[in-house]
Amino acid sequence: MKIKTTVLAAAAAILAGCVSETGGTRVTVDTQTGDASVLECSMRLVNRVRVVRVTYDDVGGIKKATVTLESLTTRRQNLQARMVWADADGTDIDPDGKPFRAIVLDGKDVTTFTGMAPNDRGVTARLQVRETDTAQGGR
């Protein structure tokens, strides 16, 4: 139940607005406790993308995080995302090791993004989402 409350709080934070114009949406997921929080988001994405759910799992001693994103607009959105992992001390593990992957989010559609920690030291995941292009269309 704690994860559901935290995810709803994270989604509310996205809807309420954030500070950065170009930083992209960042969702932090603690895979030990299930806590999720929004660190920073793009003002342009804040009204277009919402975090619906965050889940985590342990696969052979390696953490896996899955973030479900929902489009709040009727437009097709071309986004990029990557999962950055940190150890128990909060130090990023190979922050530039994984490239951004393309996500196409059609109007009012839902998609999931999954990332595996690079090794067993990965405890916290941070999803970085950025806009690459938004097709023309209605809201």
Residue 125's DSSP bridge partners are 29, 85
Instruction: Report the predicted TM-score, pTM, of the whole model to 2 decimal places.
Output: 0.68
Question: Which CATH number describes the domain made up of 2-134?
Answer: 2.60.40.3230
- Residue in 72, 131, 69, 67 with CA at minimum distance from that of residue 107: 72
Rounded Cα gap, residues 119 and 34, in angstroms: 19
pLDDT band at 13 (very low <50, low <70, confident <90, very high): very low
Coil, helix or strand at residue 73: coil
* Structure confidence by residue, pLDDT tens digits, 82-123: 888 999 998 999 877 788 999 999 999 999 999 999 999 998
